[in-house]
Structure 1
Amino acid sequence: MGYVTSLFSRKVVAAAGDGVDAGAMLASVGLTSDAPCDAGQMVPAECYYDMLERIAEQVDVTELPLRTGASMRLDEYGALGLAFKAATTLRASYARVERYARLWTSVVEYELRPATGGTLFILHRAGERRLGMRLSNEATLASAVSLARQVCPVPLTPVEVLIRHPAPHGVAAHEEWFGCPVRFGADLDAILYADETLARPNILGDAGISQYLTTHLDAELSEITRQPPLVAQAKAAIAQALSEGAPKMPEIARGLGLSARSFHRRLSEHGMNFQSLTEETRRDLAEGLLREESHSLAEIAFLTGFSEQSAFTRAFKRWVGTTPATYRKEMTTR
C-alpha cells in the first residue's frame, strides 16, 4: 500500500471550504481536525484519493488543486522544506525534491530532465488515473510552483505545464494561476522551466546550511528505506516461489521458520499483510525483468506467477498504469 503525507489531506480539506464537513473528511483518512500539521505523518494514498472524490461529489473541484497548491508553505515540510529553501538555485531545490521525495510519499517519484526549451520537472505516479489521482497530480504540480515562488527573487513563471489527463470544463483558472499555457492530454505530468529560471540564485540560498541539511536528510532517507529483515527475506522467498504459481502463506512462513500465525502477526507489525507483500513483490520483480531485454513478456508473466500473459498485462496495467510492452519501451529509451 502506498502512502502520501497527511499535509496534502489537511490542505485540500481547508481549500474545499465550508462546502464539506472538514472533520468527517479528515476522519476518513485517519486524521483529526484539532491535531497540528505534520508532514511526516502519512495516510494511505488510496484513502486520500477516495477523500478527494467525496469532496468532488459535494463541491466544484475545478480550482481546488490550485487553491491547495497555493496554500503550501516550505516551513511546513520540515527539514526537506528548509533544504529546498537553503539550496543555492531553484535547480538545486528541485534536485532535493527529486532525491528526497520518499520522505513524504511512497507513490510519487520526481525527475529533472533536459528538454527542448529548458528542463522538465516531471511527476511520475503509477496506477489508475481515477479522479482522485488526477486532482492529486494537479495539486502536486501547483504546489511545486508555489514552493518555487517562495524562494525565487523575482516573479516566477514556467514556460508550460503539462498534465496527462483530459482538461476539466475550463482551463482559464489554471493558466492564470500558473501564468503560462497549461496543456492537458499530454504525455507527461510536468512543469517546463527555462534553464535561466532554474539557474537563478534563491533568496535564502546558503551552501553551508544546505550541506548540513542534506546530510540530515540522507540519514532520514536511509532510515525509512531500510526494509525490516523479515520483509526482505519474505520478498525473496516469494520471488523464488512465483514461477510455481501464486505462493501460499503457510509455505512461505514455513520456509522462514515461522508458523503462519506468527508470520501474519509479524507482517502486521510492519503494516503489511501477505497479499499486499506478494503483490508488491510481483510488481517489483516484473519491473526489474522488464528493464532487461533477456526475457520475453510471456517468460516474465510466468516468472511473476501468472498462468497467462493476458492476466499479467492486466495486472501490470493496474499497478503502473501502462502495459508491460509500453513500460519496457519507455525504460529502454531513457
Structure 2
Amino acid sequence: MAGVSIIISQYFARAAGFTLTDAGVLLDGDEVLLRTKVENGRFPAQSHYDILGLVAEKVPDRAELSIRYARLIDIDKLGTLALACKAAPNVGGALQRMSRYHSLLSDSVRYHLDTQENGVFLRQDVLVGTGPGLVFSPEAGLCAMFQTIRQVAADTITAAAVTFRHSAPRDAPAFEAFFGCAVDFEAGSDGILFSHESLSTRNRLGDQALSEFLTRHLDAELEQVKSEPTLVRSTKEEIARGLSEGVPRMADIARELGLSVRSFHRRLADHGVSFQALAEETRREIAMSMLRDDTCPLSEIAFLAGFSEQSAFNRAFKRWTNQTPANYRRSLGR
C-alpha cells in the first residue's frame, strides 16, 4: 500500500497554518480536522491527499502555499537521501538521486528523468490518490524538488521551463517568480526542464566516494520500502486475476486466501489498508501500466481493469489522475 513519510505532510500542514502531530492528528488550533494511523513514520498516501484536500478548501492561493511549503523544507531533515544529494558531484547527479530514491519519502508518486535535446525534463506521475487535494501533488511536489536542488547547488539555479497539466491557479505568476522561467498550464505533463548548463552546476559538497557509499545504503532502504507485506501483495494479485469479470467481492478473495471475512478485514487493517483501497489501487496500477502500450485499445484496458463500460473507466481514471485515459496516453509520448 502506498505511503507517505509524515514529515512531508507535516511541512505542508505547517505551510497552511495547521499542525500535524507525530501521531497523525491534523489540528486547526484546537479543532481536530483528521486522524490517521502512523506506522514507522509513514501513513497511507490517501490520508496525505485527504490533508491536501482539507487545505484546498481553506487556502485559495495554491501557488503561494506550494512555494511556502517548499521553502519550509529543511533538506537536512531528510536523512541519508539529503546527504546523498549533497554528495552528488553536480545538479544532474542530485536529480538522479532524488528521482530514484523519492519513494523513501513517498511512493504515491514517481519521478522520471526524460532526456531531451535542450536538457533533462523531471516529470512527475501521480500513482495513488484521489480528491480535491490531488492538484497540490505536482505543484507542491515540483516546488519542493526545485528548492531541494537549489539548496545543494553551489551556484544559483533557474529552470528552463515548467509545465502543469491542470489549469492555472489565481496566483499563478508566483510560480514564474519562484522557478525563474515561464510556466505553462494545461500542458501534457507535470515537470521541470533543466538545461544542460544547470545540470553541470557543481554541488556544494560534491564527494564521489561518499556519494557511492550513501547510494548503496539508499538501495538497501529502497528494497525494504518496496517489499509489501505478503497479505497485501497476495490480495492485490488475487484482485488482479479476477478483474476481467468485474471487481471481486471481499468474501471471495478472503476464501481464496483461506481466511474468514472478519479475519481478512482485521489483518488488512493491521497493515493500515482496506480491501476497497487495495482494489482501487490495483485497478489504477493495471490501467496506468497498460496505457503505456500504444497498441492496446482503451476498451480492452477498461475490461481488464474491471470496468464493464468505457465511460465508467474514463470517469474513474479522471478521478485518479485528473485527466482522461486518452490524454494520459498522449502525455507519455511527449
TM superposition score category, shorter chain reference: 0.7 to 0.9
Task: Please tell me whether residue 78 in structure 1 is matched to residue 113 in structure 2.
Answer: no
Is the contact between residue 286 and residue 304 of structure 1 (CA under 8 Å) also seen in structure 2?
yes
**Letter of the structure 2 residue corresponding to residue 191 of structure 1:** I
Number of equivalent positions: 326
Deviations 1:33-66 (A, max 9, x none): xxxxx9x723444444443454455555341211
Judging changes above 3 Å, is the alpha-carbon distance between structure 1 residues 198 and 7 closer, same or farther for their aligned structure 2 residues? same
Task: Please tell me whether residue 265 in structure 1 is matched to residue 270 in structure 2.
Answer: no
The 5 Å alignment of 1:158-237 reads: 158-237=159-238
The 5 Å alignment of 1:123-134 reads: 123-125=124-126, 131-134=132-135
**Letter of the structure 1 residue corresponding to residue 9 of structure 2:** S
Is the contact between residue 52 and residue 132 of structure 1 (CA under 8 Å) also seen in structure 2?
yes
Q: Which blocks of at least 5 consecutive residues in structure 2 are unaligned?
A: 21-25
Is the contact between residue 188 and residue 330 of structure 2 (CA under 8 Å) also seen in structure 1?
no
Task: Please tell me whether residue 24 in structure 1 is matched to residue 24 in structure 2.
Answer: no
Q: Which has the higher helix share?
A: 1
The DSSP-based 3-state class of the residue aligned with 2:266 is helix
Residue 313 (structure 1) aligns with: 314
The DSSP-based 3-state class of the residue aligned with 2:166 is coil
Q: Which structure has the larger Rg?
A: 1
Judging changes above 3 Å, is the alpha-carbon distance between structure 1 residues 313 and 165 closer, same or farther for their aligned structure 2 residues? closer
The 5 Å alignment of 1:7-156 reads: 7-17=7-17, 24-25=27-28, 28-30=33-35, 41-59=41-59, 61=61, 62-125=63-126, 131-156=132-157
Residue 3 (structure 2) aligns with: 3
The DSSP-based 3-state class of the residue aligned with 2:124 is strand
Greater alpha carbon shift after TM alignment, 121-130 vs 234-243 = 121-130
Q: Which blocks of at least 5 consecutive residues in structure 1 are unaligned?
A: 32-37
Is the contact between residue 45 and residue 108 of structure 2 (CA under 8 Å) also seen in structure 1?
yes
Deviations 1:122-171 (A, max 9, x none): 22225788653333422222222211111111122222222232223344
Deviations 1:69-123 (A, max 9, x none): 1121210111111111111111111111111111111221111112343221122
Judging changes above 3 Å, is the alpha-carbon distance between structure 1 residues 230 and 21 closer, same or farther for their aligned structure 2 residues? closer
Is the contact between residue 108 and residue 129 of structure 2 (CA under 8 Å) also seen in structure 1?
no
Give me the TM-score of the superposition, normalised by structure 1. Answer: 0.85
State how far apart, in whole Å, the 1-side matches of 2:54 and 2:237 are.
39
**Letter of the structure 1 residue corresponding to residue 187 of structure 2:** A
The DSSP-based 3-state class of the residue aligned with 1:187 is coil
**Letter of the structure 2 residue corresponding to residue 203 of structure 1:** R
The DSSP-based 3-state class of the residue aligned with 2:187 is coil
Is the contact between residue 49 and residue 130 of structure 2 (CA under 8 Å) also seen in structure 1?
no
Deviation at 1:8, TM superposition (A): 3.1
Q: Percent identity?
A: 43
Judging changes above 3 Å, is the alpha-carbon distance between structure 1 residues 252 and 321 closer, same or farther for their aligned structure 2 residues? same
State how far apart, in whole Å, the 2-side matches of 1:328 and 1:182 are.
22
Judging changes above 3 Å, is the alpha-carbon distance between structure 1 residues 317 and 152 closer, same or farther for their aligned structure 2 residues? same
The DSSP-based 3-state class of the residue aligned with 1:291 is coil
Is the contact between residue 100 and residue 221 of structure 1 (CA under 8 Å) also seen in structure 2?
yes
**Letter of the structure 2 residue corresponding to residue 151 of structure 1:** V
The DSSP-based 3-state class of the residue aligned with 1:276 is helix
- CA RMSD across the alignment: 3.0
State how far apart, in whole Å, the 1-side matches of 2:318 and 2:56 are.
25
Deviations 1:165-198 (A, max 9, x none): 2223344433223222223333222112111211
**Letter of the structure 1 residue corresponding to residue 323 of structure 2:** T
State how far apart, in whole Å, the 2-side matches of 1:319 and 1:214 are.
32
**Letter of the structure 1 residue corresponding to residue 27 of structure 2:** A
Greater alpha carbon shift after TM alignment, 317-326 vs 192-201 = 317-326
Judging changes above 3 Å, is the alpha-carbon distance between structure 1 residues 104 and 29 closer, same or farther for their aligned structure 2 residues? farther
**Letter of the structure 2 residue corresponding to residue 230 of structure 1:** L
